[in-house]
Amino acid sequence: MATPSASATPRTRWASFVAAPIVAGMVGSGLVVAPLAVAQETPAAPAPAQEAPTQVSPAPESPARATPAPNPENAPDAPTLRVPTQLPSGVRLDRVEWKSANRVALWVQSPAMGQAIQVQLMLPATWNSEPDRTYPSLLLLDGLRARDDASGWTLETKISQFFDAKNAVIVLPVGGESSFYTDWVSDAKGDQYQWETFLMQELPPLLQRDWRVGDQHGVAGLSMGGTAAMMLAQRYPDYFQFAASYSGFLDTTSFGMPEAIKVAMQDAGGYPAENMWGPLGSARWQEQDPKLHAEKMREQSVYVSAGSGNTGPWDEPSGLPGIPTNFPGYGLELLSRMTTQTFVNRAREAGVQVTANFRPSGTHTWPYWQFEMTQAWPQYAAAVGIENVEEQCAPEGEIARLAEREPGLGPCLTNEYDVKGGKATDFRFGRVFWSQGTGANSVIGAIGAAYQAEDGPDGSLGLPTSGEKRTPDGTGRYSDFQNGVIYWSPTTGAHAVRGAIRAMWQDQGAERGDLGYPTTDEIANPNKPGVVQGFQGGTVYWSEETGPKIVKGAILKAYREAGAENSALGYPATDEIALSTRNGAFNRFQGGYIYWSRETGAHVVPRGPFFEAWGEEGYETGRLGYPTGPVRTTEEGQVLEFEGGTITVSGGQAEVS
C-alpha cells in the first residue's frame, strides 16, 4: 500500500484515520504484539532517528463490525505449488523494447490474464561479457498504486545504479494496481487479475528459456508487494531461496485488517476487495495470510523490515513531536510495523530464521524501501549463491583513454572482453568498443539501447565508428557504425538506418530532408522478402526488385487499408509522383496504382483491364478523371467508379460507361 509522496492529500488522508484505530484495536486485543522500541539497524541520514512508539495514544475507537481474527489452528492450509519447466501453451513473447543497454522491457502474452503483460528486466553486469552464463533472479514487486508504464522501483528509486554491478536478473512486473499479485476470484474492473498464475506458471519458463535465468530465485516487494512476496514464497517454497518484505502487511486477517485492505484498495483505483479473495476474512483470505503459513518458509532466507511511522531522515517534521507531515505514510507504516511483528513472532515460533529490522523512525515512502533493498542484498546474494563482492575492473589502452575524456560514462562494470571484430568494456552509463580499424568509440543512452536491440557488435551494424554526435538541427543525436547509423530525437526515439534505405535517406538530406527522423526500426516482412521502415515524413518500403521507395500521406493510408505489400499491389515501384491535373499524385506498385487528388481522395486502380481501359481514355486528364472509390463486385462484374464515368470488368473485358 505504497504512498507516492511525502505530503498528505485529501485522497489518501484516509490512511492515518483508518490505521490508527485498527492498530490500537489489534494491540489492545492481544492479536498482535507491539514491536520492540529498539531498532536493529538505522539508515545513515542527516536527521536523527526517533525511537519507535510502543503504542498509538490516544487512539480512536476501533471500527464497528470489524472481521474477527481467525483461529490459526483452524486456518486452511496454503497449497504447496511448483513452477513448470516447460512453457505453457499460449504463452509467447510479443515484443521486446530495450530501455537502456542493461534494461529491457518484454511484453509477454498471458493466457491467464487475457493480454500481453509488460515485464522489465535489469540485466547483470557481465551480461555481455559472459554470454553463456546463467544468473539467479530476483522478482521485485511494486506497491498498491503500481502504474501501467513502468515499475515504481525504476520510477522512484535509483536501484538500477545499485544493480548494474550485480550479477542477478532483476524481474520487474509492470502494472497490477491493487492486485496483491494474486489470482482474483472475480472481475477486477474489467481485467482478468490472475497475477500469481502469470508470475509463477507462465513467466518463469520463458525467462529460463530465453533470458538466461538459472535455478536460484528470490522474491521481494514493498507494501502490497511485500505482502505478495511472502505469499508467493510460502506457496512456492521449492522455487524461492529468499523472500523479503519492506513495509509489507504480513497479517491480513486479524481484527480489522480485511477492512483496512478494502479501504486501501477502494482508494487506490476503486477495486472491490471481495472480488480478490471473496468475503472479507473468508477461508480464501486465510489461505493468503502470510502469518498463518509462516512454517512453509523454514528452508528459506527471510528478511523483513518496517519503520515506526515517526519522523525519519527522509521525512519533514510536522511540528508535533515525532509526527511527520506525511500523515498517510505515518498511518500505513504503523500498520505495517504491527503486522510485520505479528508475522515475525509466528515465523520464529515455527522455526523460521527471520532477519527483522524494525527501524526507530521512517514512514511508508520510497527512500526507505530503496535503503532496505540495498540492506537486504547481502542476504539475498548468500541465499542464491552470488559472491557478494563486486569484481574489480580497469579499462585498458585506448578504451581507458577515451573513458578519461568522457567521465559521463561512469565507473567500469567489466574488464575488457572480446567482441566480434574487436574489444569492449562496459561502464555504468554506456559501453566502449575498440578495433584496429575503428579505434575506440562509446555508445551511450537511448542509442546504446537501440544498439543492444540490434545485437550490438554481433548484429548487422557492426562496431561503432564514432561517438554520439549532435545533429545539425540541434534536436537529435546520432552515432555512426560500420554498416549503418542510429539516429535519436526526443519525439521519435532511437532507430537504426542501414543499407539501401540509409543511402536513399541520406541522398535526400537525412533528418533535414522531407522524410525527417526515423520513427521505427527496419522491419522484415515475414510473408515475402522485403523490409519496411517508418519516418516522420512517410514510410520506406524495400525489396530486391524495387529498391527503397517512399509512400506517404493519403496514398500510404489507402495502401495500408488495401493490405500494403502483402496485398495484390505488392511493393511500391516508384516514390510518390506529382501530377499537373488538379495537383494530384500517384504511386506505382508491382500490382497496380494508387491515385490521389484533394477532391477524390486516394484509391487503387489495379493493373490489367481497369488500368488499360482508363489509359485509353487519357487517365486522369481524360473524361473519366480520377477514381472516386474502391473496386466493387456487382452482378455485372467488378466496377470502378471515376469522376466522369464507370469501368466495369467482366470475363476479362472492360467496358467504359
Residue 310 Cα distances to 37, 56, 307, 320, 322, angstroms: 12, 11, 8, 10, 5
- Regarding predicted confidence, which is higher, 50 or 429? 429
Query: 293 catalytic, yes or no?
Result: no
Could you give the CA distance from residue 606 to residue 623 in angstroms, rounded to a whole number?
Answer: 19
Q: Do residues 247 and 226 make contact, with C-beta atoms less than 8 angstroms apart?
A: yes
Residue 15, pLDDT above cutoff 50: no
Residue 411 Cα distances to 400, 430, 522, angstroms: 11, 10, 33
Residue 561, pLDDT above cutoff 70: yes
Catalytic residue among 364, 435, 522, 543: 364
User: What was the pLDDT predicted at 22?
Assistant: 47
33: nearest Cα among 373, 376, 349 = 349
Could you give the CA distance from residue 653 to residue 628 in angstroms, rounded to a whole number?
Answer: 21
Number of neighbouring beta carbons within 10 Å of residue 590: 15
Q: What single-letter DSSP state applies at residue 274? A: H
Could you tell me the pTM of the whole model? 0.85
Residue 553, pLDDT above cutoff 90: yes
User: What was the pLDDT predicted at 1?
Assistant: 55
Total residue count of the chain as it appears in this document: 657
Could you give the CA distance from residue 604 to residue 618 in angstroms, rounded to a whole number?
Answer: 17
pLDDT grade for 76, boundaries at 50, 70 and 90: confident
Residue 247, pLDDT above cutoff 90: yes
Could you give the CA distance from residue 353 to residue 336 in angstroms, rounded to a whole number?
Answer: 20
Query: Average model confidence (pLDDT) for the chain?
Result: 90
Q: Read off the amino acid at residue 462.
A: G
- Per-residue pLDDT of 595-639, as tens digits, reads 999 999 999 999 999 999 999 999 999 999 999 999 999 998 999
User: What was the pLDDT predicted at 47?
Assistant: 32
pLDDT grade for 17, boundaries at 50, 70 and 90: very low
Q: Do residues 243 and 230 make contact, with C-beta atoms less than 8 angstroms apart?
A: yes
One-character DSSP codes across 476-518 = -EEEEETTEEEEEETTTEEEEE-HHHHHHHHHTTGGGSTT-SB
3 state SS of 107: strand
Query: 364 catalytic, yes or no?
Result: yes
User: What was the pLDDT predicted at 322?
Assistant: 87
Could you give the CA distance from residue 359 to residue 336 in angstroms, rounded to a whole number?
Answer: 12
User: What was the pLDDT predicted at 11?
Assistant: 36
Q: What are phi and psi of 47, to 5 degrees?
A: -95, 145
Residue 404, pLDDT above cutoff 50: yes
Q: What single-letter DSSP state applies at residue 317? A: B
User: What was the pLDDT predicted at 72?
Assistant: 64
Cis upstream peptide for 84 (omega within 30°): no
DSSP H helical ranges for 202-294: 203-210, 224-235, 257-267, 274-277, 283-287
279: nearest Cα among 348, 365, 141, 185 = 185
Could you give the CA distance from residue 545 to residue 182 in angstroms, rounded to a whole number?
Answer: 53
3 state SS of 290: helix
* Cell of residue 458, nine digits: 554481433
Burial 515-544 (b: 16+ CB within 10 A, else e): bbbbbebbeebeeeebbbbbbebbbbbbbe
Q: What are phi and psi of 538, to 5 degrees?
A: 155, -175
Beta bridge pairs of residue 638: 633, 649
- Per-residue pLDDT of 280-327, as tens digits, reads 999 999 999 999 999 999 999 999 999 999 999 999 999 888 899 988
Query: What's the whole-number mean pLDDT along residues 28-42?
Result: 41
- Residue % of the chain over a pLDDT of 70: 89
User: What was the pLDDT predicted at 196?
Assistant: 98
Q: Do residues 71 and 57 make contact, with C-beta atoms less than 8 angstroms apart?
A: no
- Regarding predicted confidence, which is higher, 122 or 22? 122
Residue 61, pLDDT above cutoff 50: no
Output helix, strand, coil percentages for the chain, rounded to the nearest 5.
30, 25, 45
User: What was the pLDDT predicted at 387?
Assistant: 84
Q: Do residues 55 and 22 make contact, with C-beta atoms less than 8 angstroms apart?
A: no
Query: What's the whole-number mean pLDDT along residues 450-456?
Result: 96
Cβ-in-10-Å burial (0-12, 13-18, 19+) of 321 comes to exposed
pLDDT grade for 102, boundaries at 50, 70 and 90: very high
Could you give the CA distance from residue 572 to residue 558 in angstroms, rounded to a whole number?
Answer: 13
Could you give the CA distance from residue 536 to residue 482 in angstroms, rounded to a whole number?
Answer: 25
Catalytic residue among 196, 202, 333, 576: 333
- Residue % of the chain over a pLDDT of 90: 83
Q: Do residues 567 and 528 make contact, with C-beta atoms less than 8 angstroms apart?
A: no
Residue 537, pLDDT above cutoff 60: yes
Residue 201, pLDDT above cutoff 60: yes
3 state SS of 167: coil
Q: Do residues 550 and 538 make contact, with C-beta atoms less than 8 angstroms apart?
A: yes
Q: What is the dihedral of CA 108, 113, 114, 119, to 10 degrees?
A: -20
Instruction: For CA atoms 85, 88, 93, 99, give the dihedral sign.
Output: negative
Query: What's the whole-number mean pLDDT along residues 100-119?
Result: 96
Residue 64, pLDDT above cutoff 60: no
Catalytic residue among 160, 179, 223, 245: 223
In the sheet that holds 422-427, the strands lie side by side as: 417-419, 422-427, 430-435, 439-444
Residue 66, pLDDT above cutoff 90: no
Query: 603 catalytic, yes or no?
Result: no
- Regarding predicted confidence, which is higher, 10 or 401? 401
Query: What's the whole-number mean pLDDT along residues 68-91?
Result: 84
